[in-house]
Structure 1
Amino acid sequence: MALVTFLSDFGDQDYYVPAVKAKMLSINPQLNIIDICHHIEPFEIEHAAFLLKSVFREFPKGTVHLVGINTAEDLTQGYMGAKLEDHIFICPNNGILSLITEQEPGIMVQFADIHLQDTPFPTKDILAPIAAKVASGAAIHDFGGPLKGFRKLMSRQAKATREHILGHVIRIDRYGNLITNIQRDVFEKLNPGKFTIQFGRESVQRLQKGYGQVELGDPYAFFNSLNLLEIGINHGHAGNLLGLKRDSVVYINFQN
């Protein structure tokens, strides 16, 4: 299956997204191009990485993922292809791959100068043709030589002790729910049975199994499908109502 996913911060009010797709389809009209998202805030690499990390494993192994985030020359250390967890990534070497998994790529290729050009639109003119050709059967080795290392960024990690976990909000979704970096397995290893989750001026002492299991206007917390602690207010925008935003602190205090 010639499958390509496409993630960018281009929005949908300009010609950028269709131009990139047209370039790929001009190479192989049979490509199946799946949009992950094009509404990333400009240059928000952490948001882009969060979305890519959340969904790329849901696609079949061998899927080609085209990433059009921070592709300008002053924001990247060149352009690369990588095989990571049996998926292929065509992207700028700007650190995004280091934020989607702790595993090292099995193969990394620095795209050769012959495939590069001086262009204000590198996603269309450099990355899209390579993505289309790789999805159509070419190997990423065909487009360059080995890349020994790639740019790495550090993501914010929750801090845990036997007494508490200190985490942060990493994403507020369109419903106002607060997604944190507190992982289920860490919580379950430390949880003695009684705990308080503190967020802003609110707190809860129990976990729900999903949305809408508390009274309207009441706060709730549960571990979502990503196994991350999520906090919300039933039929309310938790971010606005609680005065919380990305990087806001969330505490879990354990009572022994």
Structure 2
Amino acid sequence: MALVTFLSDFGDKDYYVPAVKAKMLSINPQLNIIDISHSINPHDVAHAAFILRSSFREFPKGTVHLVGINTVGTMTQGYIGVKLEEHIFVGPNNGILSMLADQDPGILVQFADIHVKDSTFPTRDILAPIAAKVASGAAIHDFGGPLANFRKLMSRQAKATREHIIGHVIRIDRYGNLLTNIRREVFEKLNPGKFNIQFGRETVDKLQNGYDQVEAGDPFAFFNSLDILEIGINHGDAGKLLGLKQDSVVYIHFGG
């Protein structure tokens, strides 16, 4: 199955998304194009990387992922293809594709000049044709050679000691729940059995299994399907109610 996912910050009010899809379908009308999201905050590389990292493994191996975020400007150093965990990514060399896993990709390709044209719309004119052809059976090596300079960005990491973990809010979802960079494996390794989690003016001293384990209006904390700490207020917008936002600090204190 020729499967392509598409992630961008184009929104749904302009011609950009249908134009990119039309370009791919003109090359192979049998392509199955799946939208991951087009509501990424404009130019927000970290937001895009989080969404893609959290979702790409749910697709079949061999899926081609087209990334149309921040494809023009000084941050982007050309256009590349990446093979990671049997998935293929086609996008700009601006750091997004370096944030999808803890390890480096197995294959990195710099697209050759013959496939790169001057364009104010490189997602349609450069990346979409390559994504369509790769999904149809071509290899990313057919479009270039080894990438010498893979632009890397580092996401903020939680700091951990035997006494505490200091993490940060990395996303606030549409319900106002706060997703953090505190990972389950780190917590479980350090947890002596007694702890408290502090976020804003709220403190909880136990983990729940889901959103509805506390009364409406009460705070909760649990490790979600991504194995990261999620905190919030049941039936409430924790971001607004507690004055928390992206990059706000979350503390876990161990012991008495």
TM bracket (short chain): over 0.9
**Deviations for 1:133-181, whole angstroms, at most 9, x for unmatched residues?**
0000000011111113300011100000000000000000000000000
Report the counterpart of residue 230 of structure 2 in structure 1.
Answer: 230
Tell me, in whole angstroms, the C-alpha distance in 1 between the residues paired with 2:73 and 2:61.
30
**Residue 120 of structure 1: how far off its partner (Å):** 0.4
* Structural mapping, 1:157-196, within 5 Å: 157-196=157-196
Paired residues for 1:49-198 under 5 Å: 49-198=49-198
Question: What is the rounded CA distance, in whole Å, between the counterparts of 2:67 and 2:6 in structure 1?
Answer: 6
What SS class does the counterpart of residue 174 from structure 1 fall into? coil
1:100 Cα shift?
Answer: 1.2
Alignment-derived partner of residue 4 in structure 1? 4
Return the alpha-carbon distance in structure 2 between the equivalents of residues 171 and 59 of structure 1. 22
The letter of the residue matching 2:242 is L
The yes-or-no answer on 1:47 pairing with 2:81 is no
Q: Deviations over 1:59-114 (max 9, x none)?
A: 11110000000100423000000111110000100011111111111111111111
Give the whole-Å Cα distance in 2 for the aligned partners of 1:111 and 1:73.
17
Q: Which amino acid aligns with 2:120?
A: P
Secondary structure at 2:180's aligned position in 1? strand
Number of residue equivalences: 256
| Alpha-carbon separation, structure 2, partners of 1:131 and 1:4 | 7
Could you list the per-position Cα deviations for residues 17-65 of structure 1 after superposition, in whole angstroms to 9, with x for gaps in the alignment?
A: 0000000000000000000000011000000000000000111111000
Q: Distance in 1 between matches of 2:93 and 2:155?
A: 16
| % same residue | 79
Q: What are the ranges of 5 or more consecutive residues in structure 2 without an aligned counterpart?
A: none
Deviation track 1:1-25 (CA, whole Å, cap 9, x = no partner) reads 1000000000000000000000000
Which residue number in structure 1 is paired with residue 239 of structure 2? 239
1:222 CA displacement: 0.3
Q: Distance in 2 between matches of 1:141 and 1:16?
A: 27
What letter corresponds to residue 17 of structure 1 in structure 2?
A: V
The 4+ residue runs of structure 1 with deviation greater than 3 A are: none
Q: In structure 2, what is the equivalent of residue 211 of structure 1?
A: 211
User: What one-letter code is carried by the residue in structure 2 that aligns with 1:248?
Assistant: S
**1:253 equivalenced with 2:253 (yes/no):** yes
Name the counterpart of 1:221: 221
- Cα RMSD of the aligned pairs, angstroms, is 0.7
1:21 counterpart = 2:13? no
Q: What letter is aligned with 2:118?
A: D
Q: Which secondary structure state, in structure 1, belongs to the residue aligned with residue 29 of structure 2?
A: coil
TM-score normalised per structure 1: 0.99
Superposed displacement of residue 187, structure 1? 0.2
